[in-house]
Each structure stands twice: as C-alpha cells, then as structure tokens.
Amino acid sequence: MSSSSPTEAPLIQLGNSYRGAGKRESSSSDAKQQHRHAIKQVAAGEQKLDGWSVAIDVVASGLCGTDLHYLGHDIGLGHEGVGVVSALGSALLQDDGAEAKKLGLKVGSRVGWGYVQGACLACLPCVQGVDTMCRTRKLYGVANKHQGSIGDAYVVDARFVHLIPDALPLVYAAPLQCAGATVFGAIHACADLKPWHRIGVLAIGGLGHLAIQYLSKMGCHVVVFSTSDSKREEAFKLGASEFVATGRDNKELKSAIKSADWKGSVDYLFVASSVQPDWDTYLHPRILSSRATVIPLSVSADALHIKGYQQLISKEIRIQGSMVASRAVHRIMLDFSARTRSWPWIELLPMSPEGVEEAVNRLDAGQVRYRFVLQHPTHKDPLFPDHVPGPALQNKI
C-alpha cells in the first residue's frame, strides 16, 4: 500500500484478477467439452481506499451462474467473496474508529460481500431497508469492472460487507454471499410462509440444495421435484420430506398426480431450475394449491409463457419476484446458516488459471454438486486455516 500524501486516499494493490478470454476448440470428443471457455489472469492494478471503503484480502470465492454471463465482457469475475479485512478507509477511522466500531469492522475481521455492493442509502427503498431496490444501487458486473472476488484483493463499501459468524468456515460462507442470499431473501420475502405449509422446490442444484436445507430447518414440509431419481437420496439428506421424479418431459409427474398415492399440492413453489419449467404443468391444481405463490430463483432471458392464464386468476396464484437479500436479511441468513449448519455442498478448486477454467467449464456443463469454491493459494481463514471438512466437501487442492 502507498499514498502520495497524507491527505490523499491510499492506493490498494489489487493483485491478480481472472477474466473470460473467449472460447477455444477442444480435442475432446465429449460434446460438453467443445468450445471450452478460456480464462486469463491479469493484473487488476490499484484502487483508492476511499472514506467508507474497506480493503479485503480474498481467502475464497464461490462461482455463480451469473459469472458465466460476464465471461465475454472482459471484467473481473466473481461476486461470492470472503476474506479478511486488511485496511479501513478514513471515514471509518475518524473519532477513534467510531464508524468502524458501529459496523463491527477492524483489520483482521472475517467478512463477505455479494451481488449488491453499494446504494445511495437515502432514497425511499433504502430507508425502508430494501437497499437492493435502490435506483442507484451498485451491482456486480457494473460497479467494479476491473476486479471481482476471484482475485487477490478487493475494495468495497464497508456498509455492504457482512461479518462472517465464527462458526462458519470461509470456504462454506463464500457461496452464501449470492446463492444463500438469493434463496434466503426469497423465503424472507414470503411473509405468509409458515412451518405447517407444504413447500415445493423445483430442481436440486446450487440454489435448490440450499432452499431444501433452509425450509426444512424452518419446520416446513418440503416436496422436491427433480427430473430423475438420481438425486433422491441426496434430497432426503438435505432435509426433503417428499421426492417426486418428474421425468425430463414431465410425463412421470403428470402420471404421478393422477395416482391415488399423490400426497397433495404445495402452497409455495420455489423454482430453482437453470431453465424455465413448463409452467402450465405446474399450475395444475394437484400440484399448486389455490392462492399458492410461485417464486422463480434463477435468472432466465427467455420470455415467460403461460397458456393457462385463467388459472392464475381463478386460483389466485401469485408469481413473486425476488432480488437477492437486503443487507439486513443477508446478515440474518448468515446467522441462520451458521446456527443450523445449513452449509452449501461444495467442491474446492485452487484459485489459479487452471482451477478457475475448470470450474467455469464444469459449471457451464452442469458438472458440479453443488457449488464450486475457489481457494486462494496463500490467504488463509484465521479461524480455520486448514478448512474443516463439511457436507459433500470435495477438495481438489
């Protein structure tokens, strides 16, 4: 770190960043390995540590499906970052560090950050506590293009970092910064959701496997819908109460709901699939209860097609959009995850050009159960320097 004068904001050396480098042909005969995404490691330069900013040494980063959307944009990848605070901005240090103390931050604090990295904090949504709806919110992919969480260091508004509970190792906290915030934020947005409800989770993946854990540990009866039986055992390990194999064309699902053994419709349906489902199939009254709520969790650029429009009206079905969790809900999510041991199932890979490239390509091909975490080669978790093995940890380091 260096500064040209005492009155100027110091400059933080960001070290390396990882970015998409286009596609290249592969000699592999496996179609999933053709046109592999290439990754490049570049110097991210330096960034001013402005008044409210905090500098973080990255310990680990999750890899999210949203990162794949930015492979062709030449930006620093990653927004599921966790690490250790290395420096505080001037506004945080004034009055004997009063503002830093309010935030619970100091050099050495274990923190994380996610998709939303800033907001005006003055508009109506901000003062209502939903800073994710701020018109001038700062989002990953736009706010900081030269560095992402897959890198050596990061500088971000201290008011948008989150203290990681001591019981939660950083490698497990990483995917929670976006995947956890997405799922928990959606659950929190459903104010009428109660423990006695039957809750559907469509697809077991990076989002769905967290939804099953959160909902089951809240006492809900969780019905998991998956295309095949291959994840049945894992669904019950995660906390599912029922498992329904739908078949890829929903033939098995359509047959199942006609059966006398069908156990009933769901009051909420969290859609965690990577592609949109056949909405009209799931609007069937034996799948969705009257006045049920459908909550899409994953991002899709496709149009929303519902032929049974009348079903929405006659059954008073709601479709509830949900952004990632606000700062307040994000912190509740981290506490709940640590307290109930609702940890993501992860596969560890090294934060290196080879490790990032493997994670990107396997995620794109759907070859992960259920989240990749890229671990920095030298920065360590001060509480868990030798990460604690947890659920389904696959360590490739």
Residue where a domain stops, chosen among 319, 335, 370: 319
Residues 155 and 19 in one domain: yes
Residues 81 and 112 in one domain: yes
Residue 327, in any domain of the structure: no
**pLDDT score recorded for residue 33:** 54
* Among 215, 184, 217, residue whose Cα is nearest residue 198: 215
**CATH number reported for the structural domain that contains residue 294 in this entry:** 3.40.50.720
Residues 199 and 125 in one domain: no
**pLDDT score recorded for residue 32:** 52
If pLDDT is split at 50, 70 and 90, which confidence band does 56 have? very high
Write down the H helix ranges in 218-256.
Answer: 232-238, 251-256
Residue 339, in any domain of the structure: no
Give the number of other CB atoms < 10 A from CB of residue 202: 26
Rounded average pLDDT over 129-142: 95
Residues 197 and 231 in one domain: yes
Residues 159 and 209 in one domain: no
* Among 66, 62, 65, 74, residue whose Cα is nearest residue 38: 74
pLDDT digits (tens, 9 = 90+) for 198-239: 999 999 999 999 999 999 999 999 999 999 899 999 999 999
Rounded average pLDDT over 360-367: 94
Residues 238 and 123 in one domain: no
pLDDT digits (tens, 9 = 90+) for 146-173: 899 999 999 999 999 999 999 999 999 9
390 has pLDDT over 90: no
Residues 153 and 273 in one domain: no
Least confident interval from 64-78, 141-155, 226-240, 302-316: 302-316
Taken as a whole, the chain contains a residue count of 397
Residue 337, in any domain of the structure: no
Residues 215 and 279 in one domain: yes
If pLDDT is split at 50, 70 and 90, which confidence band does 274 have? confident
**pLDDT score recorded for residue 307:** 80
Which residues span the domain enclosing 288? Answer: 191-319
Residues 170 and 205 in one domain: no
CA distances from 242 to 198, 206, 239 (A): 10, 19, 9
Domain count along the chain: 2
Residues 24 and 172 in one domain: yes
CA distance 5 to 171: 37
